[in-house]
Structure 1
């Protein structure tokens, strides 16, 4: 089963798109064309409080109480409008994931940021039931009630007590926990708390990540692997000039994390820079690049979905 750990495909996200109910772009058709069975389709929880400054996304104001909770409701509603309009399946259980194929492409409802929780673990239950949330990234571009982020100065020393409670609640309900954007300290604490595999949905390996870099070092990667989790490799052209370079980047991550702990995290339609994988119809090109990189067919299939599938089968409810 070919899978993507992080996507905003279909022109899902954006304040203006949500406000104006903007038209969607094709998602189901490119998934079928490229052989993609299931994607983690993510709303963005902190958009009203962030903006682009000096080519990076930063928080610029404190949201009003309840504001991001209300915004998330609108964002999830748009996600379901997209699902209905393109006749996509929704993965809520292990059986739903097993039924997803490129002929019947499906989405896993995801949130990039737990900001809408406002620190309240009981809201995890509500999102699980009401929006079929099955993949929660704890933090995004603002330090929130759950923990610290890579791109701003730390405030909490990693994961907060509220963040720990959210991880435990996700484990119990059947929501996969994503530590992308979180600091190394947050990731280490989440790994100590979780009893299910973690994912870090979209990043790349960097021997010495700079301050505020979204890339991760080898030790950071190994923490995810030790939970039996998966790290998604993303395709910014600022890091990888072409698909061959991206395949090499995946190979570098395999060297430190292992073949069972690396996958695809395309950040489809969410990158500030151009992507070398701009659409799911380009997926065969990445598969060919992985084979040319020296991976066997079995290893290539693990990297393009098998590993992610394993984690979600471990994390989803029956």
Structure 2
């Protein structure tokens, strides 16, 4: 009778007949994020610099922002800094240069330029940790070098002032996506959270999409109405993105993506970057928030001119109706649903950190991504699946937009008349 010799693997002796233990969910997540760090679709740090410091950041320590709370203004600490990006295993980041949708278009153009400038100044202060990039190849090189590939995304079409010339100049400055609307309609596209006025895209809005395709600039459909989503998918020649949205079948918020649009991601080749915003994650949380808003409106109508009575009434209501919080598990539920309808190749991560009060329980700030990936591994996602969600899908989508732009290199720019 032949006897098998013991097998030695990585310094561990296995007796004959012994089986290797399956890796834990934590180990699967760690392996995936080591190979493919998170490419996050949306972070609002530039907005925080504007709101908290009016873009005067010489004294701001971006290595650690945990002491930035401002209780007098009702603000907690920022969610993002170099330490927590490292803990979160972030390898590439779209920094959102959002400005208020209530600004005039001309004001929005100036403010967006200022936001691009402030983010570039932050990147220049940390060349060992952050690298400004504009291409998929550039992102890959930065990540290989151990730096966070830093790209710029514009949140809200009001930021181009209804001008294709401004759009081209924003692209020249490095912007690589434009969210077509924010909370309000633009003169050429309907928002998901405003009363529709255009039935989707106008003719000029279609030219915006075509010019973005020609430039290789990703069309971001977060914040837009379902009809606008559909109109874009009807005409785009390049993959699209949702930089920070969830699944509407899981949470009915208008900011989330309906199944009919998710199903079209396969043919388009685009990506839905699952958002971490609590009100978009948990349906119970959304309902609680809506009831709270209704109670506040009721109290203000009852106690006009008496804010103390309103505050006392709200405090009493909250005492009897404890806050409903979203969790990492809720976040994973959205990813499960996007996988079911669109497929594993069309999922990414768009945390929305520093654009909300807090992330979900378990991933309250930018350090929380490993907890989300561990939860996904616990649900049976393979290492290859997790690598796709973390960054490989986003890399493919950006390369797709770049390839389409190369194919249209001989096309002249789309033009629109100057208005003054």
TM-score by length of 1: 0.87
In the alignment, the residues of structure 2 paired with residue 116 and residue 24 of structure 1 have an alpha-carbon distance, to the nearest angstrom, of 28
Tell me: CA distance 1:272–1:280, structure 2 relative to 1, closer, same or farther (3 Å): closer
Correspondence 1:221-232 to 2 at 5 A:
221-232=262-273
Tell me: CA distance 1:209–1:32, structure 2 relative to 1, closer, same or farther (3 Å): closer
Q: Deviations over 1:96-155 (max 9, x none)?
A: 0221317211111111112121211111111111x2111111111121123001111101
In the alignment, the residues of structure 2 paired with residue 114 and residue 198 of structure 1 have an alpha-carbon distance, to the nearest angstrom, of 15
Q: CA deviation at 1:33?
A: 3.1
Tell me: CA distance 1:149–1:82, structure 2 relative to 1, closer, same or farther (3 Å): same
In the alignment, the residues of structure 2 paired with residue 16 and residue 35 of structure 1 have an alpha-carbon distance, to the nearest angstrom, of 26
Query: Aligned residue for 1:53?
Result: none
Who wins on radius of gyration, i.e. which is larger? 2
Please state which structure has a larger fraction of its residues in helix. 2
Query: 1:4·1:39 contact (CA, 8 Å) conserved in 2?
Result: yes
Query: What count of residue pairs does the alignment treat as equivalent?
Result: 302
Tell me: CA distance 1:181–1:306, structure 2 relative to 1, closer, same or farther (3 Å): same
Query: Aligned residue for 1:286?
Result: 372
TM-score by length of 2: 0.67
- Which range is displaced more, 154-163 or 17-26? 17-26
Q: Deviations over 1:37-62 (max 9, x none)?
A: 101111113x162xxxxxxxxxxxxx
Query: Aligned residue for 1:127?
Result: 170
Q: CA deviation at 1:66?
A: 1.5
Tell me: CA distance 1:19–1:83, structure 2 relative to 1, closer, same or farther (3 Å): closer
Query: 1:253·1:262 contact (CA, 8 Å) conserved in 2?
Result: yes
Correspondence 1:166-181 to 2 at 5 A:
166-181=208-223
User: Of 350, 370, 373, which residue of structure 2 is paired with 1:265?
Assistant: 350
Residue 301 in structure 1 maps to residue 387 in structure 2? yes
In the alignment, the residues of structure 1 paired with residue 224 and residue 164 of structure 2 have an alpha-carbon distance, to the nearest angstrom, of 18
In the alignment, the residues of structure 2 paired with residue 313 and residue 65 of structure 1 have an alpha-carbon distance, to the nearest angstrom, of 31
User: Of 223, 226, 247, which residue of structure 1 is paired with 2:332?
Assistant: 247
Residue 163 in structure 1 maps to residue 205 in structure 2? yes
Query: 1:11·1:24 contact (CA, 8 Å) conserved in 2?
Result: no
Query: Aligned residue for 1:218?
Result: 259
Runs of 5+ consecutive residues of structure 1 not aligned to the other structure: 50-62
Query: 2:62·2:82 contact (CA, 8 Å) conserved in 1?
Result: no
TM-align CA RMSD: 2.3
Query: 1:137·1:180 contact (CA, 8 Å) conserved in 2?
Result: yes
In the alignment, the residues of structure 2 paired with residue 177 and residue 190 of structure 1 have an alpha-carbon distance, to the nearest angstrom, of 8
Tell me: CA distance 1:209–1:249, structure 2 relative to 1, closer, same or farther (3 Å): closer
Tell me: CA distance 1:270–1:166, structure 2 relative to 1, closer, same or farther (3 Å): same
User: Of 192, 209, 224, which residue of structure 1 is paired with 2:234?
Assistant: 192
Query: 2:47·2:97 contact (CA, 8 Å) conserved in 1?
Result: no
Tell me: CA distance 1:10–1:148, structure 2 relative to 1, closer, same or farther (3 Å): closer
In the alignment, the residues of structure 1 paired with residue 193 and residue 169 of structure 2 have an alpha-carbon distance, to the nearest angstrom, of 29
Residue 17 in structure 1 maps to residue 49 in structure 2? no
Runs of 4+ in 1 over 6 A off after TM superposition: none
Tell me: CA distance 1:243–1:299, structure 2 relative to 1, closer, same or farther (3 Å): same
Q: CA deviation at 1:12?
A: 4.2
In the alignment, the residues of structure 1 paired with residue 228 and residue 101 of structure 2 have an alpha-carbon distance, to the nearest angstrom, of 24
Q: CA deviation at 1:14?
A: 4.1
Q: CA deviation at 1:65?
A: 5.3
